[in-house]
Structure 1
């Protein structure tokens, strides 16, 4: 049943590849004037990612309250970015990976924070040519974010499966629906969160990491879900960037409803954190490998669930709450994704159809990028 709390505020940050409209590849360097034009348009809501060809549209605060607001915000920001990009013969693409860009040719951005990532992680950083989505959901100060996070953890592979958009890398199908997750797994402080009983224990761990020189700043700890280092919120990092705004909002809505539901159930925590971690690790692999077509372990680690059955279980658990918060369409969109495919499915289908039509492999890959451009910004 719905709880008595107002729907928590939320924010969404998206990362984009900037694609050359002529070659559909990523430029090694951005055209002169683009960054200044984008910063003038977005102010503090724009930043460069690790590479010149990757940019992020940030949230100043996770202050959205209605999913309709989120939709309007995402569409407006994407349209504004696409308009600026077009002036420089560029187009934004919101997807986990670019189908054929070569990471060897990508120049790091000039941001000092990103430069320290390359110094600390070397080739791991240079290979991390990927885009994700970041979702923040506000958690009241009197609620322990780690206890909420522990309750949310089990469901993360379902959100990943719905978001998968990175099946192609280096010009070839990878066999994974989210190759971006394989790239993220190379980093030392990404992946499944360590287990902590509460937020004070987590804060002590963070202090130790900083004091020991293991990380430079709190934001370097970028688990698939984490207490936000900037806001009083839980932050979802473990999903791919979604070309479709509606797919993105599906993940956002489900995550918000899940966090809200978990706030009232912090006493109902996993009895066996080790088993939870083992099941989560297995389910994450299945979501990464098979996407919405995987079979997933239930909380006992014994029965297998299809993505459809898992989404139905989610609806039974927190569907009423989602409806009360205005997020009920998330389940409708989730069922749509399960029936018609995620972005990863669409990309692979477009690639196969182009090859079957007799196009050379490179042209088939270009066709995939064309589809991603169209889906990202409505071209």
Structure 2
């Protein structure tokens, strides 16, 4: 449609990597040495996380997914190189397959100390690794509108990202057990629908006033209007194994935002569904990944997850050229054919029995 500005939908990517001892393959608490060395090279694009065995990186604000690809690839290469120099490895999986959280150390920082003090074992055991995707928004009003509608698609993209079938040496039966670990935190999962940005802000103000939170960063939903950046932040996904998978998922979130923006400009709105219904699909995606079924709430029937993902591609197809993400989106077909990170982990386990 002429006149629509899709350039506003910039992207930013945050990834959480596991730090590994090359000899034992166990997670390695390392006093954030990778972060300290990394900040000498890439400044604040690398950060410490609550557990010492986790390193977080974040891209710059990227104009498109091609730029994001280059940034993520550079970050992965840089952090891997630093880890190698320190006698460590880094890896990408939503959970470590056999390490136990009890043996891992918490990073000494006032914010992490506060979280552990409040949440206790829920915080100490939260040794997981995710992907967060930011999509730029022109206004906060548009952000809440898009966030409300985008909730429906969260399980579809989550299913593609599943990459955590093991937990503490056990085969969990889930394609993403990471989400089950994180469920112990408050204010997680798919959020409710908010009538307006004012309603959302009033919710935050009430939680702050009643000492539930000190700021909106302690809203850990699968999707949120970011409290400090002008973005919608998608937080539901496991960290994918490869750069290409990360960028394809980023492109899908960006395309969903672009499509919902286009519909809004035509005075069309996507059907809103309750959190209770959407969480049914999230559970299915967590359990079965792309090999199960999701509920098509419009048809009131179960549909193969792969079929629904192909339908999603059709839904966003008309905005993809405007976003310049054709190549990244096309990789969805390969992901559906070769399976998710969880599928590949399980294949190795079945072949090696270890």
TM-score range, shorter chain: over 0.9
**What are the equivalent positions in structure 2 for 1:136-285 lying under 5 Å apart?**
136-141=134-139, 143-266=141-264, 267-269=267-269, 273=272, 275-285=273-283
Q: Name the residue aligned to 2:37.
A: 37
Q: Name the residue aligned to 2:54.
A: 54
- Distance verdict in 2 for CA 1:172–1:115, change over 3 Å: same
Deviation at 1:17, TM superposition (A): 0.6
**Is residue 322 of structure 1 aligned with residue 320 of structure 2?**
yes
Q: Give TM-score, length-normalised by structure 2.
A: 0.94
Query: What is the alpha-carbon distance in structure 2 between the residues aligned to residue 2 and residue 56 of structure 1?
Result: 39
Query: What is the alpha-carbon distance in structure 2 between the residues aligned to residue 65 and residue 331 of structure 1?
Result: 16
**Is residue 92 of structure 1 aligned with residue 90 of structure 2?**
yes
- Distance verdict in 2 for CA 1:3–1:288, change over 3 Å: farther
Per-residue deviation, residues 285-320 of structure 1 (Å, max 9, x unmatched):
000000001111113261222222112211221112
Q: Name the residue aligned to 2:28.
A: 27
Query: What is the alpha-carbon distance in structure 1 between the residues aligned to residue 182 and residue 294 of structure 2?
Result: 21
Per-residue deviation, residues 266-303 of structure 1 (Å, max 9, x unmatched):
454455x5x43232111100000000011111132612
Query: What is the alpha-carbon distance in structure 2 between the residues aligned to residue 67 and residue 192 of structure 1?
Result: 25
Query: What is the alpha-carbon distance in structure 1 between the residues aligned to residue 3 and residue 287 of structure 2?
Result: 36
Q: Unpaired segments of 5 or more residues in structure 1? A: 356-363, 365-379
Contact 1:159-1:239 at 8 Å conserved across structures: yes
- Distance verdict in 2 for CA 1:34–1:302, change over 3 Å: closer
Q: Give TM-score, length-normalised by structure 1.
A: 0.88
Deviation at 1:41, TM superposition (A): 1.9
Q: Unpaired segments of 5 or more residues in structure 2? A: none
- Distance verdict in 2 for CA 1:70–1:34, change over 3 Å: closer
Per-residue deviation, residues 57-114 of structure 1 (Å, max 9, x unmatched):
124x5x2112221111111111010111001111111210000111000110112211
Deviation at 1:208, TM superposition (A): 0.6
- Distance verdict in 2 for CA 1:269–1:214, change over 3 Å: farther
**Is residue 345 of structure 1 aligned with residue 343 of structure 2?**
yes
Deviation at 1:246, TM superposition (A): 0.9
Query: What is the alpha-carbon distance in structure 1 between the residues aligned to residue 237 and residue 65 of structure 2?
Result: 18
- Distance verdict in 2 for CA 1:34–1:148, change over 3 Å: closer
